[in-house]
Structure 1
Amino acid sequence: MIPQKEAVLAVCEFLGRNGCRKIGNLSINTIKSLFLHVLENSYFVLQQPAEQPKYYKQIRGGVMGSACTQVLADIYVKKWENILVKEQHRQKELYFRFRDDVFLTRKQPLEKMNNIFEELNKSDPNLKIQWEGGKSVDYLDVTIRIEIPNFRTRIYCKLAAQPYVLPYHSVHPKHIMRNIPYGAALRAARICSHPNDLREELDRIKITLMLNKYSATFVDEQMQRFYKDLTRTESIDRLIGENHATYRNEILNEQWNKKEKRGIDFRNDITCHFSCTPTLARFGTTFHKIWKEIFQETPLDSTRIIYANRLTSNLKQFLVKKRPKKNILKLQLQ
């Protein structure tokens, strides 16, 4: 857990080191004061059944999920890892970090690596390293294995992971259902570096979707749409064939298949929101047709109309209340 004041000082040092005297109209001193104000005024209230509410103040770290805490943690760890990163670059080894998860390579025995990490643990009592190494490791959602001269990667799933996705009969717009198999196939093709692993993962995706009431025909149609966008054919054969590496390199580009979207002009465009219900599943097309028929050859004929869905409240929103009642947020005077 990061210390509050030391993390804020690390942010100030980071800004000064990069020549940033101001961010917008905010000076470094103002940014420091704002960070400290957020960290030192984090409270939460806990009320057990049939008991009076209890109030707690957070004195270490920051609120999980807060944008403020994420920035502080990233910069604090960046300061801590500076020496290690330089050593990795000097030895021409790999080093990647996402939040508090690190992946690195070293041509050293495990005993020596253990000594290195023990020394790193002593350098900062607020950070504790737990590591594992070998010919194969799990990093984020990827299993990485050494196969000289390259790495072999495939999707990693935790043992506790459940085969759950958004159910097909959930009250959501149908384009979301269509994009779930497509997006899952794209993710698998990007991560799996070997054709056999990709075939197995696509089969696993199909089973998971069928368990969530997606029909086999529907899943095949959406996956074929992905194959056609990538290989120009609706068959998987090209993707897992001899040109697999070429196709994989193509989709590793973040801009692959991205279509340019026109932004919303809030001065001229009209956006209409409707609650998403099964009875209105195809109303979008009908709505545009009605609009054209009514306003043809009128000043509104050239106005862009945007049909959008508003999601209905679900059971989680009904049962889980994140915001306490107003009466328990008021401190009782002693």
Structure 2
Amino acid sequence: MMPKREKIQLAYLNFIPKPHKTGTPLRPIVSSMNMPTTGISKFLDKIIRPIFDKHARSITIIDGVDLIHRLEAYITNGHLIPKTYLCTFDITDLYTMLPQEESLDILIVFLLQHGYQKLQNIPIDIIRKLALIVIKENIFVYEKKFYRQVIGGAMGSAFTLTLANIFMWKWHKQLVHRLKVSDETYGRYVDDIFFTSNDSLEYIDQMLDEANNFHPNIKLMRQIGRSVPFLDVLIENRKRTLTTSVYHKEAADSYVVPFGSDHPDHVFRNTADTAITRAVRYSTILSQFEEEIRQMKLMFLYNGYPPKHIDWRLTTLFSKYLSKNFILPMLHDSNEFGYLRHELLTTSTDKIYNRTAKSSTADQTSDKNMQNQFVQPTDNKEITKRKSLIIHKRHEQRLTQNQHHIQELWMRTFHGTDVTNTALIVGTCLNRNLKQELMPKMIKSNRRAAISQETTTQHETGKQT
């Protein structure tokens, strides 16, 4: 957590456009990479976020697949009826409107309520003081003027998201309780919230009006109906038949990584695979999937992807789950599509989320576990066989054969020695994209030069004396 004086840099404010929203508004970002409080912010986020993820999992939506699982459980339990309303709302400017002192008080309440008096042997009152430094000492520069943030936290600081989540945990308690009593489904993804309701539209509006007055800094923008989008999923209640499909925002551009760009082949494969997998998971029926695939193909063709590449990725997915002899990049059988969708939904991100949260929590107690481990003696040759050397190279299309040449050079140089037992792994580093190149950079201070000049002046003065 201790900042290094030679690397400290004053934060600066820049803006990132939101092209998916009408009018392309700007999102303010405080670049705090080398701020004095960055180390504290990362430390607090590392030890507190796994705790929040563990205790708030039941009301946290991870992604669209997790939402679909919740809706399937809602239907299975018999709660979906023809008049069921689908409701979404989002918090306006959550990060920048967080009440600072109140958020820290809620942080302490959250930790105490779940039985945490200390975190990594640090008392929670010290945790609060560290969090206070991160929130209060957010000073940045913009257009040659210095500013200090007095409301909310910096978008760019690791701890801000965790603190916002804990604040929302307290804010929506009343709303969650009312919906749970009615056996409704409820979930939150950062500042976006989704829930179902079998009550009248007037009652739902009244409930959200009351929620809008829970705190003066928190204001809601709602959408209620039989068909609503949430994240990238479009959910529809068609007279007690719930359907989902991929949702595309009106302002979204048909743009992906261009096929002619200078990227490794796996980037293009993963881009197509992700779009296809999402289409299968989100589409309830075959016709929805076929329509999404048509739009997806047009988008990829627009970005220079050859038709055979798209067909190859479709065939690869179908042959993996349906039949090894699958040769056509299309589906005609609803049963086959249903089976494929079931298989992809069962490998959801929920397992990945739980595994990540578990490993993060385990990291906090790794020191204690290491003390109790007994290391068995191992033969030196066995250790050598398990070694691996990882090197990275910048990717360029004209240098695609370099990886093969490096492997040949490695084997030719160390042939007949124990070094060949070490596995050489050649990784790829992507080149900086245009956004990174154009991102404004703070002019580095001439502090070292000033110190050097001052030292030289003192030295010359000493000589004259």
Name the SS of the counterpart of 2:169 in structure 1.
Answer: helix
Helix, strand or coil for the counterpart of 1:210? helix
Q: Which amino acid aligns with 2:345?
A: L
- What number of residue pairs does the alignment pair up? 315
Hey, which of these two has a bigger chunk of helix by percent? 2
Q: How does 1:1-334 map to 2 (within 5 A)?
A: 1-47=97-143, 53-232=144-323, 233-238=326-331, 241-254=334-347, 268-321=387-440, 323-327=441-445
Deviations 1:80-103 (A, max 9, x none): 111211221211111111011111
Cα RMSD of the aligned pairs, angstroms, is 2.2
235-244 or 156-165, larger mean C-alpha shift? 235-244
Q: What TM-score results when the alignment is normalised by the length of structure 2?
A: 0.64
Higher RCO (Cα < 8 Å, 6 or more apart): 2
- Tell me the distance in 1 between the aligned counterparts of 2:341 and 2:434: 39
Change over 3 Å in CA distance of 1:239–1:297 after alignment to 2:
farther
1:251-282 per-residue CA deviation (whole Å, 9 max, x = no partner) reads 112369x9xxxxxx9x9321121111112224
1:196-239 CA deviation, whole Å, 9 max, x = no partner? 11111111111111111111111111221122222222435558
Render the CA deviation track for 1:28-86: whole Å, top value 9, x for unaligned: 11211111101101122111xxxxx1111111111114321111111111111112112
Question: CA 1:148–1:302 in structure 2 vs 1: closer, same or farther (change >3 Å)?
Answer: farther
Q: How far does residue 289 in structure 1 lie from its aligned partner after superposition? A: 4.0
Q: Deviations over 1:92-125 (max 9, x none)?
A: 1111110111110111221221111111112211
Contact 2:187 2:194 in 1 (8 A): yes
Unaligned runs of 5+ in 1: 48-52, 259-264, 330-334
Q: CA deviation at 1:134?
A: 0.9
Identity across matched positions, percent: 30
Distance in 2 between the 1:220 and 1:328 partners? 56
Contact 2:285 2:334 in 1 (8 A): no
Q: Which runs of 4+ in 1 moved over 4 A?
A: 236-240
Letter in 1 for 2:116: C
The CA distance in 2 between the partners of 1:126 and 1:276, in whole Å, is: 47
Question: CA separation of 1:228/1:282 partners in 2, compared to 1, >3 Å: closer, same or farther?
Answer: farther
- Deviation, 1:149, is 3.7
Find the aligned partners of 1:234 and 1:73 in 2 and give their Cα distance.
Answer: 49
User: 2:49 — aligned with what?
Assistant: none
**AA matched with 2:113:** R
Unpaired runs of 5+ residues, structure 2, are 1-96, 353-383, 448-465
TM-score computed with the length of structure 1 as normaliser:
0.88
Amino acid at match of 1:17: Q
Instruction: Tell which deviates more after alignment, 143-152 or 115-124.
Output: 143-152
Corresponding letter in the other structure for 1:320: M
Distance 1:328 1:116 in 2: 57
Residues in 2 aligned to 1:27 and 1:197: alpha-carbon distance in whole angstroms: 54
Q: Which moved more, 1:120-129 or 1:96-105?
A: 120-129
Partner deviation per Cα, 1:122-163 (whole Å, 9 max, x = no partner)? 221121122111110011111100134442111111111001
